[in-house]
Amino acid sequence: MTQPIFMIGARGCGKTTVGRELARALGFQFTDTDLILLQSTGLSVAQIVEQEGWAGFRTRESDILHESANAGGSQVIATGGGIVLSETNRRFMRAVGTVFYLYAPADVLAQRLEAVPEEDQRPSLTGRPIAEEITEILLAREALYQDAAHYVLDASLPPPDVVSAIMQRLCPCAAG
């Protein structure tokens, strides 16, 4: 069994987009903890947070991370932006798999999220404009992403380039 590959990083960095392409390139199964959360509850993030608070949301998210990884098989697992808030999650991902932090600066993330607001239906964490909020969240979480990651990659590049960079880290010998 191959160890799972985890995608971590802030909302909009491309965990889902790059993770799916990477899984296809490797012939791995693609798992997205955000998607599983929505499918298993039938609720939107906003609805879960409204009913159970952010703590309830985080617990569900962590459970899904562990269940997905423990299910085994060759998988690329895209996570939610806040998965690293839990030290248990950070240690778990590092211990059982290979963790890639997709880094992009706040202005790039804000541009992406503003371009397709309908894809991103999370409630604002602070109620302030998106660029401001992202800057603050990145600042608060940067050390946590770094702590969890085996590799940090430039996620402001186009998705195929990010996929190539990951493949190269996974198996430098096969890089063309």
Q: Quote helix, strand, coil % in the chain, to nearest 5.
A: 60, 10, 25
106 binds ligand ADP (CB under 6 A): no
Identify which of residues 10 and 106 has a Cβ nearer to Mg ion in the complex: 10
- Reading the block at residue 171, the tokens are 């198996």
141 binds ligand ADP (CB under 6 A): no
Residue 22 Rama label (left phi>0; alpha psi -120 to 50; beta): alpha
Q: Which 109-148 residues touch Mg ion, going by CB under 5 A?
A: none
Q: How far apart are CA 122 and CA 174, in angstroms?
A: 39
The three state secondary structure string of 137-163 is HHHHHHHHHHHHCCEEEECCCCHHHHH
Build a one-symbol-per-residue string for 63-82: x at contacts with ligand ADP by CB under 6 A, - elsewhere: ---------------x----
Residue from the set 1, 116, 171, 174 that interacts with ligand ADP by CB under 6 A: 116
Q: Which 17-36 residues touch Mg ion, going by CB under 5 A?
A: 34
Q: How far apart are CA 40 and CA 30, in angstroms?
A: 16
Q: Taking a C-beta distance cutoff of 8 angstroms, is the pair 56, 84 a contact?
A: no
Identify which of residues 82 and 97 has a Cβ nearer to ligand ADP in the complex: 82
E strands, 23-120, where?
A: 29-32, 75-78, 98-103
Identify which of residues 67 and 119 has a Cβ nearer to ligand ADP in the complex: 119
CB of 152 to Mg ion, least distance (A): 18
155 binds ligand ADP (CB under 6 A): yes
Which residues form the interface with ligand ADP (CB under 6 A)?
9, 11-18, 78, 112, 116, 119, 155, 158-159, 162
Which residues form the interface with Mg ion (CB under 5 A)?
15-16, 34
